[in-house]
Structure 1
């Protein structure tokens, strides 16, 4: 089902604004249900339906295009009024609107009209006080994501407008000097020792942990639709511990460091469709927490469908991990296509490496199972169709020793009906001798030109790749 955008945005007349508390709370927010056919039991996804909700124009609350403080305060007041009314659509009209962080509330949609741009400051002070968030799979209190919601239901970002953060400060922070790396070690040790999340205060000193662009944390019934994104300080769209997430017709271009497109982490029932990704990192990366925090939260990421998306640049089309300690299962990528030239564009973009990449290491534990990729095409890729690596540690190899060794059980990988013009290999699996990868099948996978060894399978049982 598709939300009728015309009715959603331009529906009936706008009621006059009422003072907070002068209007009785509206009935429960209506939901639409999306039934998604998948090669596993996929629950219907709840999508908030704002078509009957009142509109709250930010200029009515004092927004000014030449004043960041006024605009940020006006957006906050409009969100509060929409929430107090029972539900509402906060309208950002055409124009460029400077702001700091935006915190959504339940039953509120932030809608950007065509021609509207929210330009987010790169001043870290605009993202304080610190909020409960995470950094690469470890929970902490850090600078607020630029758009943030915590423990909300029925929240949305919609419209044909644009999110455009200023990146100057964040680009400096992405260099990861020693104080930043020391902060990562300190945060990891906090999790290892079981320190309460409220005491993991990271928005201090030279820690320089960049915030995500959008994070929905512990939310239910989330919709992101039609918007365009230009740049991100860190991960671009990060649903964390959410249930029922729909991301559709979103255009993302973010070429900086760690600029994944969408990172569903410890989420259930996620639909990503009709999107365009032009990334400096993975287009989509499914995650479920790092090491001790993943085990503590014990919330697998499951039931994720990605369909009809186009990828221009990115490390991987679909990555699974490496933060996967709570487990990942039931993932389906269908009718998605890498349409770039395989060389990467300018401005620090990267050529795509693999179409499906499962990555973990001896510290993660967790599991990966029931992963499907079908009906995918690509031009030239630097890696292959399917890659599995169980020794991916990046900078952590030298930052910290292995305190707890837990291998990741990986089984049930299905890839079919994939066509690639040129690749280094078709399939490369390097697994642990103590934990072989099990039950892998490739059907109708065609690579016109293979420049290296087509198949490498180390410690794999039940591998099938019919000619």
Structure 2
């Protein structure tokens, strides 16, 4: 059979058109995934994970004794200094129980704990002096040293299979929170006494220089556990943290941070698992968070301090983590005055009768700030107490929280999320009339049980795509939305 050249050319053109249409369809389908995963992968690819020379500095070579009683602060610092001076390597903590005061890391040092190593932190508060430049609830100050601290260092790590035990407890740091639950007794000093938080709040409001915000001895503000402050290329891998005085991991003003395979099992007051603050390019993966407060809380300064520093926390990826007890699985706020953007949460499991919310955003008109471009994908939620998604711009605790800084929240996306029990609400949003919450989308979300489907105030209508709550489809046509009445 003979076919003319024109006929064959026409067939080729038709084939090309068909393939082009097919490719366009596949590209559109892929683009929905790329919108969630592509930028996250690009962030991960750009994060610098520190590597270290193959040099070993056992702390025992510098006088450390793992008997649980000998104070090894000086031995740890000698090993760290020797490692740093030699150009870097591993400072190794072998099997044993090593008591120490604060550990101050230096550039190019990997503090590596072997299996069976337990680092116990001193319960003598004098060991955490002199004061250092640190932060408390989003406000910079001079205070007791964090238990593990690095200031303006590059290429640092805490790795291995060991345990870091802060020994905070009801007879040490915890009572300073002022709660009987954590050992506080009537008449004892606590953080809300006039010389503590009220004084720091006034200094923040008045713009007192940080070097003049001196606390420490005679004051009662607890230190963080691990705090890289203004550092670059930070790795925390494999270790366990327990019995923290305050926030557990607090990378502040730091860039290129990797937290991998870490277990946080700490149920003290304000025992957030990981709080990136003014932090950029952060990768949190393969971790277990079993905490007394938020599992992960992304922050960016409180009130005037946040606006002064003005460094948004951005480009943060959380994946393959398990969230157990805590106030929230992944939280943004409440210290958020410089803003948060570009947050990706994927492939996580959140499940505990003591976990309050899965995804939470909290701020108010003293904090202000913004949250934008949050993508949550492929999350399995067993049960939470209050809501799968909670956005609250009226957050308040202890004192009046109203001011003139209207928060802005936009472009929050939940996709491929399954929830067995969402507690009181499926979705709970409280925005502001002055700046309504914008562009909230739930796609391929199934919430089996919720006390109420949703409560939404001062928000653009929520957009639902292939989503059901309590067995009811939330879709309502080609561009389904739900308004403030939840109907």
Taking structure 1 as the reference length, what is the TM-score of the superposition?
0.86
Q: Residues 39 and 85 (structure 1 numbering): CA distance in 2 closer, same or farther, change over 3 Å?
A: closer
Aligned equivalents of 1:288, 1:431: Cα separation in 2: 20
1:172 matched to which residue of 2?
Answer: 175
1:47 matched to which residue of 2?
Answer: 49
Which secondary structure does the structure 1 equivalent of 2:337 belong to?
coil
Check whether the contact 1:356–1:386 (CA below 8 A) recurs between aligned residues.
yes
Check whether the contact 1:252–1:279 (CA below 8 A) recurs between aligned residues.
yes
- Tell which structure's C-alpha radius of gyration is larger: 2
1:458 matched to which residue of 2?
Answer: 457
Check whether the contact 2:71–2:99 (CA below 8 A) recurs between aligned residues.
no
2:264 matched to which residue of 1?
Answer: 252
Per-residue displacement from partner, 1:160-207 (whole Å, max 9, x unpaired)? 0110121231122222666521211111111111111000001131x2
2:96 matched to which residue of 1?
Answer: 95
Aligned equivalents of 1:220, 1:327: Cα separation in 2: 21
1:412 matched to which residue of 2?
Answer: 411
1:292 matched to which residue of 2?
Answer: 304
Aligned equivalents of 1:172, 1:113: Cα separation in 2: 32
1:378 matched to which residue of 2?
Answer: 381
1:204 aligns with 2:217: yes
Which secondary structure does the structure 1 equivalent of 2:202 belong to?
helix
Report the structure, 1 or 2, having the larger helix content. 2
Which secondary structure does the structure 2 equivalent of 1:192 belong to?
helix
- In the TM superposition, what are the counterparts of 1:54-203 in structure 2 within 5 Å? 54-66=55-67, 70-167=71-168, 168-175=171-178, 180-181=191-192, 182=194, 183-203=196-216
Aligned equivalents of 2:140, 2:224: Cα separation in 1: 13
C-alpha displacement of 1:462: 4.8
2:471 matched to which residue of 1?
Answer: none
Aligned equivalents of 2:301, 2:135: Cα separation in 1: 9
Which secondary structure does the structure 2 equivalent of 1:259 belong to?
coil
Q: Residues 116 and 40 (structure 1 numbering): CA distance in 2 closer, same or farther, change over 3 Å?
A: closer
Aligned equivalents of 1:69, 1:160: Cα separation in 2: 22
Check whether the contact 2:67–2:96 (CA below 8 A) recurs between aligned residues.
no
Per-residue displacement from partner, 1:376-400 (whole Å, max 9, x unpaired)? 1121211111110111121132xxx
Check whether the contact 1:62–1:70 (CA below 8 A) recurs between aligned residues.
no
Per-residue displacement from partner, 1:395-428 (whole Å, max 9, x unpaired)? 132xxx75x5101111000001111111221111
Per-residue displacement from partner, 1:277-311 (whole Å, max 9, x unpaired)? 11111000000000100000010000000000011
C-alpha displacement of 1:38: 3.2
Per-residue displacement from partner, 1:101-122 (whole Å, max 9, x unpaired)? 0000011010000000000112
1:436 aligns with 2:436: yes
Per-residue displacement from partner, 1:200-256 (whole Å, max 9, x unpaired)? 001131x21000110000000000000011220100000000000000000110001
Check whether the contact 1:301–1:328 (CA below 8 A) recurs between aligned residues.
yes
2:282 matched to which residue of 1?
Answer: 270
Which secondary structure does the structure 1 equivalent of 2:397 belong to?
coil
Per-residue displacement from partner, 1:255-293 (whole Å, max 9, x unpaired)? 010000000001000000000011111000000000100
1:9 matched to which residue of 2?
Answer: none
1:320 aligns with 2:332: yes
| Unaligned residue ranges in structure 2 (runs of 5+) | 1-36, 180-187, 466-474, 476-487
Aligned equivalents of 1:45, 1:123: Cα separation in 2: 38
C-alpha displacement of 1:41: 5.7
Per-residue displacement from partner, 1:129-173 (whole Å, max 9, x unpaired)? 000001000000010000000000000000001101212311222
**Which of 358, 369, 375 lines up with 1:366 in the alignment?**
369
Q: Residues 40 and 156 (structure 1 numbering): CA distance in 2 closer, same or farther, change over 3 Å?
A: closer
1:336 aligns with 2:348: yes
Which secondary structure does the structure 1 equivalent of 2:174 belong to?
helix
Aligned equivalents of 2:199, 2:229: Cα separation in 1: 23
Superposition CA RMSD, Å? 1.6
Which secondary structure does the structure 2 equivalent of 1:38 belong to?
helix
- In the TM superposition, what are the counterparts of 1:345-364 in structure 2 within 5 Å? 351-364=354-367
Aligned equivalents of 1:411, 1:41: Cα separation in 2: 22
Check whether the contact 2:417–2:446 (CA below 8 A) recurs between aligned residues.
yes
Runs of 4+ with >2 A deviation: 36-43, 65-70, 176-180
- In the TM superposition, what are the counterparts of 1:230-241 in structure 2 within 5 Å? 230-241=242-253
C-alpha displacement of 1:448: 1.0
Aligned equivalents of 2:419, 2:274: Cα separation in 1: 24
Aligned equivalents of 2:431, 2:214: Cα separation in 1: 37
